[in-house]
Amino acid sequence: MQPIMKFRLRRQSRKYVLIFLAACTLIFILYPTKQTFQEQHSTSDSRKKSTSSDYSLKLKQVFDKSPFSDLSKRIEIAEEEANSFSLLKLIPFLGNGKDARERKVLAHWAQANRKDQCPQLIKGLYATPDWSNNEIVAAHKKVRVDEINMQVSVERIRIYNYCFLEGGLDVTEVLKDAGLSSYDAFDFQSRMFIFLKQVTKTDAKYLYPIIQNLNTEEIISEPTTTKSPQDFNANFMANWRQLANGKGIAITVNPDDVEFMIRLFRVLKELGNTYPIQVIQKGGELTSPLIEQIKKTAIETNQAVSIVDLSPILDEKFAREQITSFHNKFFAAMFNTFEEVLLLDADVVPYVSLDEFFNLKGYKDTGLQFWRDRNRGSDTHKFCSNLGVYLEPSLEEHNLLGTELKFRINSLAKKKVRSSEERAFHRFFNELKVHNIDSGIIVLNKKQKLHSLIMGEIFYTNGRFGRCAYGDKEMFMMGAFATGADFIIDPRDAGIIGPIGYNIDQRVNFICSAQMGHLDENNRVLWSNGGLRFCKFPDFAKKDYTPKNQDYFIQKYQSYDNMARIYKTKVEITGFIIPEVEKNEWMQIPDCQSYMYCGLAKKVDTKALILKFEGEEKERLNRISDVWNNPI
């Protein structure tokens, strides 16, 4: 090589070295300024999407098993790396790989969109390789284990909603972007929704119930979709939600209550109902003779009725062991095909057109309406209150996703309770009282509230928290609260409907009946619960008339035969009472297996309500009672 060439090369090399050193010097000069900016905006504040300044106070931190625990650690590392010197920053093309993109999302979390955030959230789930909501089914001896499982199961449902229901993302794509190639959407689904039948990518059959139209005898067992069974099944809950359409009535019924449902159909005909009805069963409860009886009544009453058999979509073991009694209502709520749903118990009685329920202001404003129970309540367990704080987001979830719920549970004990919703939660968690909700009728928009129904089912399934309420009542309410869904609980307490009497000596009006009633804002009766017979079940007479209680019943009814006859009579509706419980508590009496209550109220009780029905209103209500009580 010529000397002149060597000289030029050395000169050029020195030039590049000088440029490199100058760049490094510039970075070190500028870097402290950037670090100062980061110090002025703390990690949690930069990620926090919420505008609330005090919501985060006293939020619990996550357990190590939480997906937000893993995610928070990775974000902290990414932020530190972003603020430190790296040769990758000087040579941009070396920092354009998948790992670099992930670090960028983590380091700038608050600016990332769901498409970028959700792979990291799901990666946080699989940081616990064996995670599954099956952990909640059994209560544990160690309370801390139940607390951990409560927190993470709630977080998982909120993450699912954030990414796949509200977010509309594809599970397969999110898993791919998360680098979780050893797992697929079917694995994810089986862990998240333990009640669903486990399917794989090789299954060629759609996850879909069998829907039998009793009027036309048409049977539908596949969805109307252009997706393949594999694509549909891979994100079943989101796809099922998308198919929801129209308005209708959903009922779940056990064989012993078919009689009540038949009577309900008669009332619906009297009210001019035109909404389709779906009778939801987990599979096998309704025998062929019972289905034929329902079909006959549907035709006689001009009601469009379908039987929805959920056995093709439910895990057989879970359905057999877990879906019993009130648990069925969550599946009736989730797996009817309607978008707007009137969820009815078989023994409820509406007194107005069903259009009016869908047009209630509370429902129109929120998409989910509940009614209050009687203002009384049995005690629940202290551990229910302790677990309640895990309905709320952790500090980390609040900071990362901005999750805020309608109110803070603990603060209800320290401030004036204003709304009906706050009152129900205060009674449950602070006063430890159940029976806050009468779930005989729930009006809901399923497309808007599916995530809250899933969450409520999770609570009902929870081996410890599920013991905190009687049946499904409060669990529907808890599901809505824990998902941050908007909902309303009608502020009026439930009352009692039936024959009204007056005690001259005590100057008190009273009604004793087994029927709980609900009014609208104009004091018009909307619906009642418990059928319209003196006793819900006539055979209660045999169960009541025991040596222990004979003296009470003979004194009241003179003889067993007279008692058995009265137990079968229809309810005469002449009044409605909501007592002022601070002065006159609800009285529970032995009649009808103790399903009988007495409500008392005096005219001077300013917070009580006494309605005496007369004229057309009395005639209208008793016409419904006559229709309900017609012999089958």
Domain limit, last residue, from 359, 387, 410 = 359
Average pLDDT, integer, range 174-199? 97
Residue 404: phi and psi, rounded to 5, are -135, 140
Same domain, 502 and 622: yes
Same domain, 352 and 224: yes
Same domain, 511 and 591: yes
Q: State how far the Cα of 386 lies from the Cα of 75, in Å rounded to an integer.
A: 30
Q: How many CB atoms lie within 10 A of CB 517?
A: 28
Which helix (H) or strand (E) segment is 587 a member of? strand 587-589
Same domain, 201 and 312: yes
User: In this prediction, what percent of the chain has a pLDDT beyond 70?
Assistant: 90
Same domain, 168 and 258: no
pLDDT at 1 over 90: no
- Residue 412's pLDDT is what? 82
User: For the chain, what is the mean pLDDT?
Assistant: 91
Q: State how far the Cα of 17 lies from the Cα of 52, in Å rounded to an integer.
A: 51
pLDDT band at 416 (very low <50, low <70, confident <90, very high): confident
DSSP string over 453-489:
HHHHHHHHH-TTGGGGSSTTHHHHHHHHHHTT---EE
Domain limit, last residue, from 192, 224, 255 = 192
Q: State how far the Cα of 609 lies from the Cα of 580, in Å rounded to an integer.
A: 8
Is 78 within the bounds of a domain?
yes
Same domain, 181 and 221: no
DSSP string over 387-442:
HHGGGSPPHHHHHHH----SS-TGGGGTS---SHHHHHHIIIIIS-B---EEEEEE
Instruction: Give residue-wise pLDDT tens across range 95-109.
Output: 556 788 899 999 999
Domain limit, last residue, from 310, 344, 359 = 359
- Of the two residues 389 and 38, the one the predictor is more confident about is 389
- Residue 204's pLDDT is what? 94
pLDDT at 40 over 50: no
Instruction: Give residue-wise pLDDT tens across range 295-322.
Output: 999 999 999 999 999 999 999 999 999 9
- Residue 50's pLDDT is what? 42
Is 138 within the bounds of a domain?
yes
Same domain, 135 and 236: no
- Residue 46's pLDDT is what? 36
- Residue 22's pLDDT is what? 53
Average pLDDT, integer, range 260-280? 98
pLDDT at 239 over 50: yes
- Residue 413's pLDDT is what? 75
User: In this prediction, what percent of the chain has a pLDDT beyond 90?
Assistant: 83
Instruction: Give residue-wise pLDDT tens across range 475-516.
Output: 999 999 999 999 999 999 999 999 999 999 999 999 999 999
Is 419 within the bounds of a domain?
no
Q: Among candidates 460, 208, 442, which has minimal Cα distance to 333?
A: 442
Average pLDDT, integer, range 399-416? 88
Is 223 within the bounds of a domain?
yes
- Residue 418's pLDDT is what? 85
Q: Domain containing 524: what range?
A: 495-629
Average pLDDT, integer, range 208-236? 97
User: What is this structure's pTM?
Assistant: 0.90
Same domain, 230 and 146: no
Same domain, 165 and 272: no
Q: Is 192 helix (H, G, I), strand (E, B) or coil?
A: helix
Same domain, 175 and 279: no
Is 26 within the bounds of a domain?
no
Is 31 within the bounds of a domain?
no
DSSP code for 551: H
pLDDT band at 11 (very low <50, low <70, confident <90, very high): low
pLDDT band at 31 (very low <50, low <70, confident <90, very high): very low
Instruction: Give residue-wise pLDDT tens across range 431-452.
Output: 999 999 999 999 999 999 999 9
- Residue 43's pLDDT is what? 38
- Residue 415's pLDDT is what? 74
Q: Is 306 helix (H, G, I), strand (E, B) or coil?
A: strand
Same domain, 613 and 574: yes
Instruction: Give residue-wise pLDDT tens across range 66-83.
Output: 999 999 999 999 999 888
Same domain, 187 and 267: no
Residue 282 makes CB contacts below 8 A (sequence gap 6+) with 310, 311, 314, 319, 323, 328, 331
Q: State how far the Cα of 629 lies from the Cα of 624, in Å rounded to an integer.
A: 9
Is 174 within the bounds of a domain?
yes
Residue 136 makes CB contacts below 8 A (sequence gap 6+) with 149, 150, 153, 458, 461, 462, 463
For 34, the token pair is 């950037």
Residue type, 289: P
User: Could you give the number of structural domains in the chain?
Assistant: 3
Is 469 within the bounds of a domain?
no
